[in-house]
Structure 1
Amino acid sequence: MTPSQSPLQQPTAVTDPAVQDPASTRDQALVVLRNLVGRADADFHDGQFEAIEALVDAGRRALVVQRTGWGKSAVYFVASLLLRARGAGPTLIVSPLLALMRDQVAAAERAGVRAMAINSANATEWDLVSAALAADEVDVLLVSPERLTNPSFRENQLPTLIRRTGLLVIDEAHCISDWGHDFRPDYRRIADLIAQLPASVPVLATTATANSRVVADIEEQLGTGVFTIRGPLARKSLRLGVLRLSDSRDRLGWLLTHLAELPGSGIIYTLTVSAAEDTARLLAEAGHVVRSYTGRTDPMDRESLEEALKNNQVKALVATSALGMGFDKPDLGFVVHLGAPSSPVAYYQQVGRAGRGSANADVLLLPGSEDKDIWQYFATASMPSQEKAMAVLGALGEAARPMSTPALEARVDLRRTPLELLLKVLAVDGAVRRVSGGWESTGQPWAYDAERYQRIAQARVDEQDSMVEYEQMTGCRMEYLAAALDDSTAAPCGRCDGCAGRWFPTEIGSGAAAAASESLSHAGLPVDPRTLWPTGMDSLGVQVKGKLKPEEQVGPGRALARLTDLGWGNALRARFAAGAPDAPVDPAMAQAVVAVLRDWGQARWAGQGRPVAVVAMPSRSKPQLVGSLAQAMCEIGQLPYLGQLSLEFGGPTGERGGNSAYRLAGVWDRFSVGPDLAAAIASYGGGPVLLIDDLVDSRWTLTVAGRALRQAGVGQVLPLVLAQAG
């Protein structure tokens, strides 16, 4: 990576007499602004110059809360060039997403600002960045918040940056706040970074989505004497609406019927990865040019998909919240939500992608009955518990050397993502630190702030209630969203369905409804076999490591659907909901599993051979469900039923959802092949068998049970389950 060499970016650009000669800072700033945008008649929006003046002349700490498209980047680009002209060092921008960094670097280069970035995607290029900084060839350096926690960066590069920084900018500053809808622990480190800066270095925080609680939290972390500019947040270009439909079939049918009528190109948001992938598949099969964009999308593919949408090469990206902050397409024509985000703030942040540079853009919400369940899942998954926090601190306190995250997984029953989140929270609180080789305890006392987390949890519940109120209200929707952001100028927009009446069609084409129904009835997804044991199992009393022996592995399996799927996911979520009674599998669900089995068979059983018999898992919670499913497979597939495995030592321990090491320890040696089952297996000559279960999560239950069957003489074990978690 090398700094751009356009004329405005030569070292003389920031010391040009045209910048230095005018008598007032405003005159200087206006010259720079007009150079940046390439328009001789350009002028500042209300509040832009006031923020620049506070940074450049007064060296203050400022917070700018303005709607998307207002021009927050112009504030820090102009301020950066003015400060550079006065001899200051480069501006350091903390930016949360790679997509946002790409857009910011591109915008800076177009504006004649020499910009570079350092993040996880180009960490090896630090030598180039360092050389450019040393040569004073960088006006703006963008850094991801996660780099601030990297031990090597923190110890070797950050001190030099702090000494040279002329301006610190925190973009998407709502991420600083516990109350923010996109809270990231790494952002809370910024308060430490600010404390290390010389008092003379100005600081700017910017966001488009912050209510009064978030503003107060950001101001507290920025320090004393913060200069805050809050503008009206309502977007005049957006036309809002809500269409409540009965189920996923109707929502998808509506999209199939009317997607082509929506203006330009846009984004279709879903709440889960599987919903995004399923929706994109359905729309593409119907001839619409769409692609999915989720957390599972490869980073290189993300960049090409973003470009495709910006260049109107696709009608829409069907996306999760992975496509959010930082994506900038001024003429984005529409945003449709299949399912509602959990708060008006999060919703407004996403719909704010549309209509930035155009007079009109359409925004439609199609809420789903499953939304609350999904909100609850994500809310609880991100909240650290006192028990888990103390377990992490205990494990690190006892360790003689730093522990890696995989090693900690064998000591603490937390999956990788929530464990890493908890470690970051503890690091921000000063209880642990990331060093070369992993994590270690600082020895600092730490107490679980139950009141704080209870406050956050209650705020999330309140926000969810507000989102439901938004869906059901009859007044102005834009006024409601602006008021949710504590915008004192909130007023009726005159455009939304509450002000001007329903602007969108409601009918669903019969062909579209049938296509949606058929797509939702589509079932079957692979259940990949485990091939590696988790690390550190000896510490949990399980003496395995490395690869599973080939003769003890299960084969590829199949599941009817994920619990998060739009189609069978709804029925399966009801089956596995807390307190749901055990009952035999219903005929429609059994027939769907048969269809999965048939499709699987057409794929030649993935080279494993046709199964010759059926074995059931022993289930303590759903014995009727598992037993009846096994019986149905026997009857329809004309396969003999060999029986079920036996439980040992009371059966598996622990709860679903734990990390890999603990889930394996909880099922290890808990299944056996009894005498009757062993005799039945022997009578069928070791051919492949179907292993029937109700729900697969970590896959260790199937792995351990299948291993027992393989050791008893089964040639291959082919798992067939109703549901896959997640």
Structure 2
Amino acid sequence: MSDTDLRTAADKILARLVGDEGGGARLRDDQWRAVEALVAHRRRALVVQRTGWGKSAVYFVATALLRRRGGGATVIVSPLLALMRNQIAAAERAGIRARTINSANPEEWQTVQQEVAAGGVDVLLVSPERLNNPDFRDHVLPRLAATTGLLVVDEAHCISDWGHDFRPDYRRLRTLLAELPDGVPVLATTATANSRVTADVAEQLGTGEQHAGDGDGSALVLRGPLDRESLSLSVLHLPDAAHRMAWLSERLGELPGSGIIYTLTVAAAEEVAAHLRECGHTVASYTGRTENADRETAEEDLLGNRVKALVATSALGMGFDKPDLGFVVHLGSPSSPIAYYQQVGRAGRGVRHAEVLLLPGREDEAIWRYFASLAFPPEEQVRRTLEVLAAAERPLSLPALEPLVDLRRSRLEIMLKVLDVDGAVRRVKGGWEATGAPWAYDTDRYAWVARQREAEQQAMRTYATTTGCRMEFLRRQLDDAEATPCGRCDNCVGEPRFDPEVSAQALERARTALGRPGVRVEPRRMWPTGMAAVGMDLKGRIPSAEQAAPGRALGRLSDIGWGNRLRPLLAAGTEDGPVPSDVLDAVVTVLADWARGPEGWGTGAEGPLARPRGVVVMASRERPQLVASLGARIAEIGRMPLLGTVAYTEEAETGRKAPGSNSAQRLRSLDGALCLPPDLASALTEIEGPVLLVDDFTETGWTLAMTARMLRRAGAAGVLPLVLAVQG
């Protein structure tokens, strides 16, 4: 087929893909260059183009052309379920048969694999997590590598740990790339890669032997300007969270079309969505905590304009495709301008004008610090994990590793995936095992990445305060050589695009919503797995007669209501002192609401719990005055006796592990660390009814659980935990 005939065929496929019945659609120049490189020359290509440019058109058109030539199915590695659902719908429009294998459809995996083997599938979309699943990696992946007609890596910036959104599962692609037969084309696409990430991804695409085709085996890089002419960027500085919520409640209806409101935490997303619904807006929350079925419903409602907005975390950061999305509002600044550009790029793909607004908050940097604390662990923790795996007689699962390694499960899993890519460990049936291969901790690289994160945070501070063009600023952060003033943003226009004023009524309503105290604290009911490995004979269900009842917290540290008040109060280095009056008043409100609630004080082992008959205080090494005064004032106001304080033993090293410890390690640290003074133990036998257990903060819940167990064993009829804050 000549180049002219190939181009004609490609444009006809594009017309079907975009629903152009007249057949006048034509590929852009760089779209055609990519298709030609993949189909005619079987090259590897990296396309770095703005969101909405049409990267998916490249791989669908190339797929159709390669299949006509007898090529195997295209395998698309795609990061999010939202993207997969969009891609399958787009493929069907072009007559391309697409299927997916991901965590949401395990019951279909076998059928899909059979269809691929029989040649009945043109496109197989695979989540990156599947690449390192033992069964998939060892049995399915080799067959795919041998029969794939085109490999596509979507959101390819995730391959590079120089980037803002590195995902270890993507690094498994290096193995897949190396195993592809000669002449199999590869396409990587992204809209968010600066020069360093682009070079790293292009280098990784060249993994393995030189493949057939034109060139020297290096990847063809097609990088275009990143301006989005439909986007008008603005920043609006408002005094506090209540003003931001009030502004949203009053102005949401004025924003064009439907859109996305991004928040930095799950708690904030749920909090904002609830308030906007109370104010009469049709919105839905969308977070990592949202069930798959509810996510699909929310996506469809936004696509169909049945909701004004999704209030979302970064769970909706990549892959959601709605061409007529009219606005993106950020309630809080992301920590990276590259991540911000990616998220705002959801808007304005198929409309002439879309509004992009950042509402920064004073809590943003505290949230950045928290997520930064989850970075790759220090060398001693990595070495400890390798030692444990090397000494094990069998593979160890994550629950089995937790008692032996002081890392929270999510962080432990990410670390193991990195070590897997580096060849130091291997995921197998039953868990993880050490390979025995030498491994070096790349101190310089991890330090550089940490500095890069700090530089990104500073860039976001600058973005929020710059007097220059905001789009030009973002494009320069992405090393876009063609960046020039956009003429559309608030700074280019020379005046605010949005009025910061809010009505007194809306502000009061927002303050009431954010000031509404009280969060349910679920008790621990099951012991962590594998405690016998650290000498603790605890397993299965905690006996109901030794459990705490459901408790209450004043607020979550991650929310934008009471979280903003509690974070500085409980921050390291804050001077200890008596409980502030506003905090005490809110705690009293929580107690009153608790008593009046539909469940009353809750249910214990022997039925509904009565009103608490006394107050027990947890010892605190960081904030003894705060906790002691809180317990004493509650006892005074509630006209209950202050029974005493649960103390730490002299042998206890810390009693509490540092934030970030996993449940097993936290529980291990509490073994033998707590004791009941004789006067407290005696007082428990003299009261009839439950006790209120007062502490400042809970993260894993194990301090409360172990203390409740001691109190119940000493005679307490029930234990009702009350804390100021809960993490999460």
Shorter-chain TM-score tier: over 0.9
In the alignment, what sits opposite 1:553?
547
Alignment of 1:600-611 (within 5 A): 600-603=594-597, 604-606=600-602, 607-611=608-612
Q: CA deviation at 1:180?
A: 2.0
Give the partner amino acid of 1:315: K
List aligned pairs for 1:28-107, cutoff 5 A: 28-39=9-20, 40-107=23-90
> C-alpha root-mean-square deviation of aligned residues, in Å?
1.3
- Match of 2:29, SS? coil
Q: Partner amino acid for 1:615?
A: V
- Alignment map for 1:640-679 (pairs within 5 Å): 640-651=641-652, 652=655, 654-679=657-682
| Count of paired positions | 706
Distance 1:259 1:568 in 2: 24
Cross-structure match for 2:718: 716
Give per-residue Cα distances to partners, 1:560-591, cap 9 Å, x unaligned. Answer: 00111211111211012121111110111000
| Aligned match of 1:622 | 623
Paired residue secondary structure (1:133): helix
- The one-letter amino acid of 1:718's match is L
Deviation track 1:584-630 (CA, whole Å, cap 9, x = no partner) reads: 10111000000000000012112311101111111111110011101
- In the alignment, what sits opposite 1:583? 577
Q: TM-score, normalised by structure 1?
A: 0.96
3-state DSSP class of the match of 1:204? strand
Structure 2 CA distance, aligned partners of 1:497 and 1:457?
32
Whether 1:229 aligns to 2:225 is no
CA contact (8 A) 2:523 2:705 kept: yes
Structure 2 residue 705 is matched with structure 1 residue 700: no
Deviation of 1:21 after TM superposition, in Å, equals: 8.7
In 2, Cα distance between the equivalents of 1:642 and 1:26? 84
The separation in 2 between residues aligned to 1:192 and 1:133, in whole angstroms, is 21
Q: Which residue of 2 aligns with 1:6?
A: none
Is 1:25 paired with 2:26? Answer: no
- For the 8 Å contact 1:416–1:659, the answer to whether it is kept is yes
Choose 359-368 or 573-582, whichever is displaced more.
Answer: 573-582
2:214 aligned residue: none
8 Å CA contact retained: 1:614, 1:692: yes
Q: Does the 8 Å contact 1:119/1:143 carry over to 2? A: yes
1:701 counterpart letter in structure 2: T
Q: How does 1:337-416 map to 2 (within 5 A)?
A: 337-416=330-409
Q: What SS class does the counterpart of residue 314 from structure 2 fall into?
A: coil
Alpha-carbon shift at residue 44 of structure 1 (Å): 1.3
1:382 CA drift (Å): 2.7
Q: Does the residue aligned with 2:32 lie in a helix, a strand or coil?
A: helix
Contact 1:657 1:698 in 2 (8 A): no
Distance between the aligned counterparts of 1:108 and 1:319, measured in 2? 27
For the residue of structure 2 that corresponds to 1:292, the secondary structure is strand
More off after superposition, 220-229 vs 235-244: 220-229
Report the secondary structure of 1:47's partner residue.
helix
Mapped partners of 1:343, 1:645: distance in 2 = 44
1:573 matched to 2:567? The reply is yes
Give 1:653 shift.
Answer: 5.1
> Retained in 1: the 8 A contact 2:203–2:218?
no
Deviation of residue 481 (structure 1)?
0.9
Local SS of the residue matching 1:322: helix
Q: Give SS of 2:601's match.
A: helix
Per-residue deviation, 1:410: 1.3
Residue pairs, 1:116-515, within 5 angstroms: 116-223=99-206, 224-500=217-493, 501-515=495-509
Structure 1 residue 22: deviation in Å? Answer: 8.2
Deviation at 1:541, TM superposition (A): 2.1
Distance in structure 1 (CA, Å) of the matches to 2:644 and 2:582: 24
In 2, the alpha carbon distance for the partners of 1:268 and 1:37 equals: 28
Q: Which amino acid aligns with 2:696?
A: D
* Deviation for aligned residue 1:131: 2.5
Following the alignment from structure 1 to structure 2, what is the Cα–Cα distance between the partners of residues 38 and 258? 35
Distance 2:686 2:145 in 1: 74
* Rounded Cα–Cα distance in structure 1 between residues aligned with 2:249 and 2:439: 54
Residue identity in the other structure for 1:148: L
* Structure 1 moving runs of 4+ over 4 Å: 20-23
Alpha-carbon distance between aligned partners in 1 of 2:548 and 2:581, rounded to the nearest angstrom:
28
Once the two structures are superposed, residues 373-424 of structure 1 have per-residue CA deviations (whole angstroms, 9 ceiling, x without a partner) of: 1112112213232122111111110011111110001110111100110110
TM norm structure 2: 0.95
Comparing 165-174 with 664-673, greater Cα deviation is found at 664-673
CA distance in 1 between counterparts of 2:45 and 2:288 reads 33
Alpha-carbon contact 1:92-1:143 (below 8 Å) kept = yes
1:23 is displaced (CA, Å) by 5.3
CA contact (8 A) 1:269 1:318 kept: yes
- Other structure's SS at 2:52 match: coil
**Match among 562, 587, 591 for residue 593 of structure 1:** 587
The residue type paired with residue 51 of structure 2 is T
Report how far residue 27 of structure 1 moved: 2.4
Q: Which of 643-652 and 459-468 deviates more?
A: 643-652
Which residue identity lines up with residue 697 of structure 1 in the other structure? E
The superposition leaves residues 69-107 of structure 1 with CA deviations (integer Å, 9 ceiling, x where unpaired) of 111111111111111111211111111111111111111
Q: Secondary structure at the match of 1:683?
A: coil
Q: Distance in 1 between matches of 2:297 and 2:375?
A: 30
Residue identity matched to 1:705: T
Per-residue CA deviations over 1:327-358 (Å, capped at 9, x if unaligned) read 11111111111100011100010000111100
| Alignment partners' CA distance in 2, 1:370 and 1:611 | 35
Task: Write the letter of the residue equivalent to 1:445.
Answer: P
Unmatched 5+ stretches in structure 2: 207-216, 603-607
Using the TM superposition, give the Cα deviation of residue 34 of structure 1 relative to its aligned residue in structure 2, in angstroms.
2.6
Given the alignment of the two structures, is residue 527 of structure 1 paired with residue 521 of structure 2, yes or no? yes
Q: How far does the alpha carbon of each residue in 1:182-214 deviate from its partner, in whole angstroms, 9 at most, with x for none?
A: 210010111111111112111100001111111
Q: How far apart, in 2, do the equivalents of 1:680 and 1:127 lie?
A: 62
Instruction: Work out whether residues 669 and 704 of structure 1, in 8 Å CA contact, stay in contact via their aligned partners in 2.
Output: no
Cα distance between partner residues in 1 of 2:450 and 2:229: 33
Q: Contact (CA 8 Å) 2:233, 2:488: kept in 1 or not? A: yes
Query: Is the 8 Å Cα contact of residues 145 and 180 (structure 2) preserved in structure 1?
Result: yes
Q: Is the 8 A contact 2:238 2:500 kept in 1?
A: no
8 Å Cα contact 1:697-1:724 kept in structure 2: yes
Q: Please tell me the residue identity of whatever aligns with 2:525.
A: T
Percentage identity across paired residues of the two chains: 58
Residue 507 of structure 1 deviates from its aligned partner by 0.7
Give the SS at the match of 1:542: coil
Cα pair 1:93 1:168 within 8 Å, conserved: yes
1-side partners of 2:264 and 2:528: how far apart?
A: 30
* Inter-partner Cα distance in structure 2 for 1:398 and 1:678: 43
Structure-2 separation of matches of 1:695 and 1:38: 56
Distance in structure 2 (CA, Å) of the matches to 1:329 and 1:653? 47
